[in-house]
Amino acid sequence: MASTTPSGRNESVLPRLLSVVSVGVVLLLLAPTPTPAKPFKIGDIIGALADVAKDTFQQGEIELFGHYCIYRREPHIKSLELYYRSEVRCPGWTSIIGRSDDRQNPTHSESEAEKDFVIKAVAKGLVTKEEAAAYF
């Protein structure tokens, strides 16, 4: 079996065909064997979603300037990306609410809400700039 190449030379197709087939056989032998798929369990998906929700939705207590305060963080989607909103409020002390929106890091979202609260507390005269300096 001979063929003419574009350069006009006669070459045998058989050696090229055998080399292609032998490379394919070697690749098949080296490829990992597929493992059987795990059965689909809805409980696994619900458990994974619960873990994500536990880590993204947060609510807790903190102390600011000797006062009892609470914080809350929740996720939201913006431009198909996960962002966090946070709030800090001290219900027995003031009606000020510190807020932070559009932070991709949940910890930064909480600290920015805390800073916003402190800035508002200084503006209202509830704390001095010296007292607030620890939060900046």
Q: Encode pLDDT of 90-135 as tens digits.
A: 999 999 999 998 778 888 999 999 999 999 999 999 999 999 998 8
Which fold, 57-135? Double Stranded RNA Binding Domain (3.30.160)
Distance CA(122)–CA(68), nearest Å, equals 17
> What's the rounded Cα separation, in Å, for the pair 83 and 77?
6
- The pLDDT of 17-35, averaged and rounded, is 64
- 39-57 average pLDDT score: 71
DSSP class of residue 92? Answer: T
3-state secondary structure of 75: strand
- Quote the mean pLDDT of the chain: 80
* Residue-level pLDDT at 70: 97
Of 66-70, 81-85, 91-95, 97-101, the least confident: 81-85
Percentage with pLDDT > 90 across the chain: 43
Overall average pLDDT of the 31-49 stretch: 71
Q: What is the pLDDT of residue 5?
A: 47
Mean pLDDT throughout 64-69?
Answer: 96
Helix, strand, or coil (residue 93) = coil
pLDDT of residue 126: 96
